[in-house]
Each structure stands twice: as structure tokens, then as C-alpha cells.
Amino acid sequence: MMIKTPEAIEKMRIAGKLAAELLVMLEPHVQTGVTTGKLNDICHDYIVNTQKAIPAPLNYGSTLSRPGFPKSICTSINEVVCHGIPNDQKKLRNGDIINIDVTVIKDGYHGDTSMMFMVGRVPEYARKLITVTQECLYKAINLVKPDARLGDIGAVIQKHAHANHFSVVEDFAGHGIGQQFHEPPSVLHFGQAGTGLILSEGMTFTIEPMINIGKKQVKIKKDGWTAVTKDGSLSAQWEHTLLVTKTGVEILTLRSNEKKPKI
């Protein structure tokens, strides 16, 4: 994992702050009847015209077998685990849960974060899933410091999810981040404490656990991007970009209105 210079870290702070501000700006717009395409348009306009930045997902990841991601944010509703594609037909309904994942590029550096939104009256079992998933993220964040290991992160997420009878998606992971959207290493959300890469001051990476009510298996839709639970069960995700500091951790994408879970 690349150790960032003080100059690079300052740029990542700015990119992370913009990504956090984007989600705060968007929150009032996430309501019954709005389309995910409209939410995408709101974010794209805000990133480009207000923040004077670049939406990293747009056209990202093209290969011979699939086109680049066609929108500026990811909108993953209910059984969609990640990489849901916004569209103008899908309207949010009462009781939906949705993860909105945003990544902003500013002065060549990335800020990557996501959060869960609840639309209208959401069932208690869905609320619990959302709460436990955020607790998984923060339990992991609380372990980040120099000389900790990546395996510690995966182990604590897996333990807390399983204790609440949920499963952990193993097909996707957090990642190093900086001038590249995805840098080494992969940050797994399962594993064994005391194993894996040793963390050092100046490292930057994401933690973004995806937790399912049902089984952990996922499948990819024909669009080549949208990942859904194989059994159709609900999934939730929270994500932050983190910096390993001399004494612990700094959350680069901390939102101004963020309420940390009591864990």
C-alpha cells in the first residue's frame, strides 16, 4: 500500500470532504416517488458545477466484456448489494432502503463514501440490518492504527455480523485509494485477526462492509454491474475513506451530520 505524502494527504482530505458534503446535500432529496436517475442528476450537477470536481464512477471500469459504468453515482436498493445503476424508471417506494455510493475526484485525488437511506416507514428488520452494518463499519474503524493488521478489520466485521445472524458478502472488498480509484490492497470484510498487512502511518483505504439478512452469495445482472443477493434478501452497506495517523485513524469522509453508532 502506498504511503501518502503530507501534500497528498491534504488533497485527500479535500476530496473526502467533498464526497461527505455530497451525501449531506442529497439527503433531503431521497424520498418516496423520486427516481434514482433524478438523484444521479442532482449529484452530477453538484459535483461538476458546485464542487468543480469529477464524478469518478462515470465511465469507470470498461472492459471487453462490459461497458464503463454509465452514471455518476451508484444507487443500490433493497436486494441490490452494490453498483446499482440509476435510471429514470425506478422510483423509490415507501419502505425501501437504499445505499448511495459516491466518489469525487478533486485535484487528482479520490474521496469515496456511501451511506444508507430509509424511505418512508421502513420495517424494523431492515432498520436492524442498517444499524448493525454501520456498527460493523465503526467497529472496524476503531481498530485502525499503526501496527494493526488488515485481518483485524475483517475479523471484527464478520464477528459482529454473525452475532446478529447476518452474513458478510465476500465477493467485494474495501481498497486502497488515492490518485487511483482502486489501489492495493484489498480490504476484506472477513478473516482472522492478527493476519494480513500491517498498517502504517500515511496509508489510505476504504472500509465498506456489505451485510445481508440472508445468505452471503451474490450474482451480477446482465448489465455487468448490478450485484444482487442470490436469495433476494435485503443488503446494506456503509463506507468511509480512512487515513492511518500516527496515533490512530482519521475519517476523511466524515459527514457533518453523522451520528456515530453506540458500540
pLDDT tens figures, 92-135: 999 999 999 999 999 999 999 999 999 999 999 999 999 999 99
pLDDT tens figures, 43-95: 999 999 999 999 999 999 988 788 999 999 999 999 999 999 999 998 999 99
pTM here?
Answer: 0.96
DSSP track, the chain = -PPPPHHHHHHHHHHHHHHHHHHHHHGGG--TT-BHHHHHHHHHHIIIIIS--EETTTTTT--SSSPPP-SSSEEEETTEEE-PPP-SS-B--TT-EEEEEEEEEETTEEEEEEEEEE-SS--HHHHHHHHHHHHHHHHHHTT-STT-BHHHHHHHHHHHHHHTT-EE--S--EEE-SSSSSEEEEE-SS--TT-SPBP-TT-EEEE--EEESS-S-EEE-TTSS-EEETT---EEE-BEEEEE-SSSEEETT--TT------
Q: Domains along the chain? A: 6-251 (3.90.230.10)
